[in-house]
Amino acid sequence: MENTATVAISSDFLTAFSKLPRQIQGKVTEFINKFRINPKFPGINLEKLPSIDKNIRSVRIDNTYRGIVSYQEESSVYLLLWVDHHDEAYEWAKRKTCRVNSKTGALQVFDVQNVEVTEETKVSTTSTLFGGLTKDVMIELGAPQDLIPFLKSIPDKDTFNANKDKLPSDVYENFSWIAEGFDPKEIIDMIKADTSDTEPDQGETEKSESLLVTEDFSVALKNSESKKSFVVIEGEEELRRIMAEPLEKWRVFLHPTQRKIVQKNYKGSARILGGAGTGKTVVAMHRAKYLASKINDDERILFTTFTANLAEDIKSNLRKICTLEELHKIEVINIDAWVMRFLSEIGFSAKIEYGEEIDKLWDRAVVNSLSELDFPWSFYKDEWNRVVIPQEALSLEKYVKAKRTGRGVRLDRKKRIEVWKVFDAYLSLMKEEQIRDINMAMYECSKLFTSSGTKNKYAHIIVDEGQDFSDNAFRLLRTVAGEERPNDIFIVGDSHQRIYNNYPTLSRCGINVRGRSSILKINYRTTEETRRYAFALLNGISFDDLDDGVDLGDKCRSLVHGEAPVVKCFADANEELCYLNDCISDLQDRCVPLKNICIVARTNQLVKDYSAQLTKSGYSVYQIKRSKADDLSHDGIRIATMHRVKGLEFQYVFIVSANNRIVPLESAIDQSDPIAERESYTAEKCLLYVALTRAQKRAYITAYGKKSEFII
């Protein structure tokens, strides 16, 4: 007989599932698979509980473990809410209820609270955390009517955060913004925007679903807010993929804001901004999956990012959310590698060089030019990358007319002619040596792509870490994408994490995102305490929005609270190492896997030194390197440079040797002019910000001797 029932798993169920012994996890997965096929299979023992909610039932996993289910007979919907040892499971369910919110239409799971409302309590609640909110406003914020007295009784933020698990997830989120001082109207408007129509051409729109408020669970499961916490299991393959990594909830649940962005039909290019930990890369990956499900079998999606190791991590994570058919349609490659491949395919013989090799070339160009100016080679290199390349001013005539906004050294026409002598020498050396810097390679790649008549094979292009791309990189992507069309280029980024001194302006590159931009505001990775500490590093610095506007970064908040970052300064390196060993040992005693700990240092040499010392101390160490994804099968302490941890996350992060002249790194400060110096200082602060915001639970900063001037 065909099963017409619907079985959905809650986010809380996966949290509980992750804490079970592995043997029991296997039993639970097998149970759910049988349950979704036939919720009334023999031995299920769907039993009523002495719960406040008449729909709350228990199901039998084995002799000692029980699942908690909300069963709505009239809609034939089963919601898997919790799983635990039977005593603990029954205790969890005792005061729980699962309802459809009469205002929002979302499914909510929460503890029913008994708060006696008297004249005395009415008076006293006026001074509580939410005492100033009217009943109507609280309902607009998603609060069930019978939770309003409890919410009004909460005295302060600490008490509110301590009761997080007793509240519906959407209520906790919305009232968290209020607790942080945001205007209720702003939050209500944000809720309405998040749950509005996501894609005008969908057969069944999110708008109609959200407006249709009914107690029917099957309708409520389609609500965008419900999808943040519930997933309907459609098949065995999907089930096993979800249960294999239950803590990686980003693979399954999207916030309404994220889902709206992922599924939106844009008329052209789009830009998504958000602070560290707001899920930008998650959105980009789900966007790739969504678009891949829509395009033809012979079409492809280009997913590109700035560094090779990030590209490898994205490849690895896409395998967790995509079907084989979808994966086949998505090409993941960092932008430099794409350029190298294309130039190789068309027979371009020059070699792309970086770092020291290019610096040597600039040094030779200064000597060969016989220029009368006394600027260091670093000045010419910066002028080339910040003025010449972005404006394609590759002749003396064009360079003389080029705008130099933001440059710290003024150049009249005569001086520009002298500067061009160096550029001319540099161009000659690149030609003679058959060498190109990456920006010149991208410029030539764009020209060759057009002149060769190469057809665009990409239906869509997705860019991660857009703040690190140069103007030339975006100009190249515009060329590859062709003329503007719906959903052509999708860009995510955060200028607060700019660590490579690129300052792209999308409109200058032919990419129009006006009216097609969004900001992600919820930090899912770090605690609010870590977020605030890290963001304070950037106080007083102006950041752009990858176009002609300003990104204040002040709308982001974390809904998770914890301990503030630890800052320690020691007399010498040995004392620091002893502290590091003690901390790691303590984390081990608390059953924290070594792979959830990451040591972060500013330079490659420091990484080698700490790796050797930790190995000597008896720890297994895994170094995160360029062009390689983090191998999670290796249970060793992670260790990497600040640059290499970009895009990654760990439970505990130790930023070591945060000493004077190392953070910021003395050699990384460009002193060729005042503006260049300021920008390189900012890049070093951003680098520390990136490192700190990799921590999920707690960050540690250690130094010895004289500590970094950045440390608060």
Query: Mind listing the pLDDT tens digit for each residue in 630-642?
Result: 777 788 999 999 9
d(CA 164, CA 387) in angstroms, rounded, equals: 52
**330, β-bridge pairs:** 301
If you average pLDDT over residues 606-610, what whole number do you get? 97
Looking at the chain, the whole-number percentage of residues with pLDDT higher than 90 is: 80
Q: Does the pLDDT at position 120 exceed 80?
A: no
Pair 467, 493: CB distance under 8 Å: yes
Band of residue 124 on the pLDDT scale cut at 50, 70, 90:
low
Q: Which residue has the higher pLDDT, 209 or 610?
A: 610
pLDDT of residue 205: 42
What is the per-residue pLDDT for 252?
92
Separation CA 675–CA 397 (nearest Å): 25
DSSP strand pairing (557-558 vs 351-352): unpaired
More confident residue, 322 or 201: 322
Q: pLDDT at residue 400 above 90? A: yes
Choose among 468, 498, 461, 467: nearest CA to 482: 461
Inter-residue contact 320 to 241 (CB < 8 Å): yes
Within 552-649, strands assigned E span 557-558, 566-570, 597-601, 621-623, 637-641
DSSP-assigned letters across all residues of 199-227? -TT-SS-HHHHHH---S-HHHHTTSTTGG
Rounded distance between C-alpha atoms, residue 559 and residue 167, angstroms: 13
Q: What confidence tier does 122 reach under pLDDT thresholds 50, 70, 90?
A: low
380 pLDDT more than 90: yes
Residue 210 — pLDDT band, cuts 50, 70, 90?
very low
Res 407: pLDDT = 84
**How far is residue 145's CA from residue 139's CA, in Å, rounded to a whole number?**
7
Q: What is the pLDDT of residues 422-441, one digit of tens each?
A: 999 999 999 999 999 999 99
Residues of the chain above pLDDT 70, percent: 95
Confidence of residue 554 (pLDDT cuts 50, 70, 90): confident
